[in-house]
Amino acid sequence: MPRAGPACMTCREKCRKCDRGRPSCQRCISKGLVCRGYPDQFRFCGIASRGKWKNARIPVAERDIVFDSQTNVIEVQQQQSPSDSSTPSEPQRSTRLAIDSILVQPAGDTDDIASILNWAQTKTLLDHYDTFICPHQLAEIGDDKDNPYRAYIIPLAKKQICLLYAVLGFSAVHLGKLTENTRLHETTAVEYRLKAIRALGEQISKSQTTSLSKEEQDAVFATIQVLLLHDIAETGISEHGVHITGAMSVCKNVLLAEGFNGRRQRAVFFLGNLAWLDIIRAFAGTRRLCFTQEIREIVASAGGHRFELVNGCPREIFLIIGRALEKAKEYKHGWTTEEDFRSTLLLANQELYSWDPKRKMYPSSDPRWVSVAVAFQFACILHVYRLLDPSRPANSPEIQEAVMMTLDATADIPSDSTLIELLILPLFMAGADSLSRHSQYYVLARLREIERRSEMRNPVPADLLKKVWTARAAQDGLENISWRDFTCFPELTQQHDYLII
């Protein structure tokens, strides 16, 4: 029986079964994903060393970049159809030698760190992570040697295999998209990612029966954060929300076994970032909140200014919105009364309104940090309003005042400032309740500025906003249309995480 043809590109990236529907895969549509269509027919070049094509020739597209190990150059080869009788042209030689070493060899079967670190591919990907990705992970000091992504992740990745695979996968997907090398981000990156998930699963399973060393614990937290960053670089969606939940299971074991304090700065750094990502995913659904307020308080007090440098949100705001989301989660599960729920959220909004950003100490003397703080302050106010009353019309005075305050604050940050990369969530929250076309245009323009500066595109914010605006323009009444309506799929037992950063 003839094969139905290759899976769509989205299902291939996600390593799941595809129904091969045309023009769009129905599995992608049911999961709220954009079906990216189908690849060209395959030809074969080179010998595969693993996987289902082991000992066969590796499939590549009709036009692909192929590394010639004899001449040490990259060539572009063209496949001729059988009916083409013309003389084939000579292969064109490319000057894009910066990624030669990535194509020298596929990822092998070995889990020996020393061997992997000696691969030219590994050196290229680690160098890309160090020189290009790390500076964009932290505001103001991104390119300094004090950047904790350099100081913590790279040395730890050279000792812990799960983190090494995660970093290589993240770097491959980023470099592949940056250079438009589909094989790099659709094959190499996916292979490393699967290896990282496998190794991470083994570590988490180990943590259930025995104590992990501090280095192993930190590697688990770092690996999960890098996998989430991989998700953001790829689709902006972490499927089924398993990564943060896994981090929390390890964290609980650490708390039960030995307690946790601020002296472990490396662990505090990773857990602080994961706790903020936990808040982000809970914006799309409060039941997804995983970290406890106790952990949030530990990382907020011990993390110092690095928390704001990475995440933008002031630690005081982080704790207030954390308490509000925790109470909303209790209410959703029926663990508390409506009166308790409403009083807690009203108090949270009162605290948010009364918080004075001008009296806070910031990571530097740059006065624009105040504007960043105000943007997060009113973005969280908007969300508390929506938790209290999801149906409140977007044109209500309180909602529009918070929208205006958020957008005015973001307008104080120029596009050449590193602080602009911190503002995706505030822009998104204000955009979801923006009613005028000029404010919607402004939000999308600023998101594009962030994309150009960071060289990383998270498609989720703009895609969700366009869905909300389209649905709102088509409605007859004034009842609110929530962006969260587009992030929940009843057929899924475990919902996806939407990572709006």
Q: Is residue 448 part of a domain?
A: yes
- Tens digit of each residue's pLDDT (9 = 90 or more) over 45-86: 333 333 333 444 333 333 333 333 333 333 333 333 333 444
On whether both 163 and 249 belong to a single domain, the answer is yes
Q: Is residue 128 part of a domain?
A: yes
* C-alpha span between 498 and 240 (Å, rounded): 10
189 near 172, Cβ under 8 Å?
A: yes
Q: Is residue 462 part of a domain?
A: yes
Q: Is residue 365 part of a domain?
A: yes
If we measure between CA atoms, which residue out of 348, 359, 288 comes closest to residue 317?
348
Q: Is residue 80 part of a domain?
A: no
Number of domains forming the structure of the chain: 2
The predicted pLDDT at position 244 comes to: 75
Q: Is residue 115 part of a domain?
A: yes
On whether both 232 and 342 belong to a single domain, the answer is no
Instruction: Copy the structure tokens of residue 148.
Output: 């904790």
On whether both 353 and 466 belong to a single domain, the answer is yes
Q: Global pTM?
A: 0.77
Q: Is residue 301 part of a domain?
A: no
CB atoms within 10 A of CB 95: 7
Domain end call among 196, 226, 259: 259
- Residue 427: CA count within 13 A, CB half-sphere: 28
On whether both 337 and 473 belong to a single domain, the answer is yes
The predicted pLDDT at position 212 comes to: 84
Q: Looking at the DSSP assignment, which residues form a beta bridge with residue 65?
A: 76
Q: Is residue 152 part of a domain?
A: yes
Q: Which residues of 189-202 are buried (b: 16+ CB within 10 A; e: fewer)?
A: bbbbbebbbebbee
On whether both 116 and 249 belong to a single domain, the answer is yes
Full residue range of the structural domain in which residue 371 is found = 310-482+497-501
On whether both 325 and 466 belong to a single domain, the answer is yes
On whether both 217 and 117 belong to a single domain, the answer is yes
Could you give phi then psi for residue 447, rounded to 5 degrees? -65, -35
On whether both 314 and 243 belong to a single domain, the answer is no
The predicted pLDDT at position 253 comes to: 67
On whether both 367 and 255 belong to a single domain, the answer is no
Domain end call among 259, 280, 298: 259
On whether both 378 and 255 belong to a single domain, the answer is no
On whether both 231 and 363 belong to a single domain, the answer is no
Mean pLDDT split into 10-residue runs, the chain, 501 residues: 61 71 74 66 36 38 34 35 39 36 46 89 93 85 77 93 95 91 90 92 84 88 92 85 71 63 81 92 91 90 90 97 97 96 97 96 94 98 96 94 98 94 97 96 96 88 96 85 89 83 85
* C-alpha span between 486 and 312 (Å, rounded): 26
The three-class DSSP label of residue 313 is coil
Domain end call among 259, 276, 299: 259
On whether both 404 and 470 belong to a single domain, the answer is yes
The predicted pLDDT at position 468 comes to: 95
* C-alpha span between 465 and 431 (Å, rounded): 7
